[in-house]
Amino acid sequence: MNVTTELLQLLSEVGYMACFRGDSERAQIIMDGVDAVGKEQVPIKMGLAITKIYSGDLDNAVSILRDDVLQNEPGHMSAKCFLGIALNLKGNQDEANTLFEEVAVKGNEDEKSIANVYLSN
């Protein structure tokens, strides 16, 4: 089966929409399918991790972000930001704050904004 990048992007967007509408079960099914055919692409792994966070599957989100995304792209600030969020939700504030401090310095404006909100709490 030949899956185009455009199809993967469209399916990922559908997965995000399901996630943000509160249907984490469908979001997981969609993103797991995208991940299965996406051949280890970082944007797909990010989407999968985000849906894992929203569905409360924090251990798998942390694993994806650490072992897949950051292993391949150690400077990926969005991955560090979402890893910080997942760790924060798990109660690992010290490790999360270390990541947020780095993102607050090196991230883009959106990433910095998110990191600073977590650092101020």
Same domain for 70 and 43: yes
The residue-averaged pLDDT of 34-61 equals: 88
> Using an 8 Å Cβ cutoff, are 54 and 85 in contact?
no
Angle at 30 between CA 49 and CA 17, to 5 degrees: 80
Same domain for 69 and 12: yes
Distance CA(110)–CA(73), nearest Å, equals 19
Same domain for 82 and 63: no
The residue-averaged pLDDT of 61-75 equals: 95
Using the predicted structure, report yes or no on whether residue 3 has a pLDDT greater than 80: no
Same domain for 86 and 66: no
List the domain range (segments joined by +) for residue 58.
1-74
Same domain for 68 and 21: yes
Using the predicted structure, report yes or no on whether residue 9 has a pLDDT greater than 90: no
Same domain for 15 and 60: yes
The residue-averaged pLDDT of 21-37 equals: 87
What's 100's domain CATH number?
A: 1.20.58
**Total structural domains in the chain?**
2
Same domain for 63 and 24: yes
Same domain for 33 and 3: yes
> Using an 8 Å Cβ cutoff, are 99 and 87 in contact?
yes
The residue-averaged pLDDT of 40-45 equals: 83
If one compares 81 and 2, the residue with the highest pLDDT of the two is: 81
Same domain for 68 and 82: no
Cα atoms in the 13 Å half-sphere on the side-chain side of 76: 19
Residue 1: band (very low, low, confident or very high) from pLDDT cuts 50, 70, 90: low
Please give the pLDDT value at position 57.
Answer: 94
Please give the pLDDT value at position 89.
Answer: 97
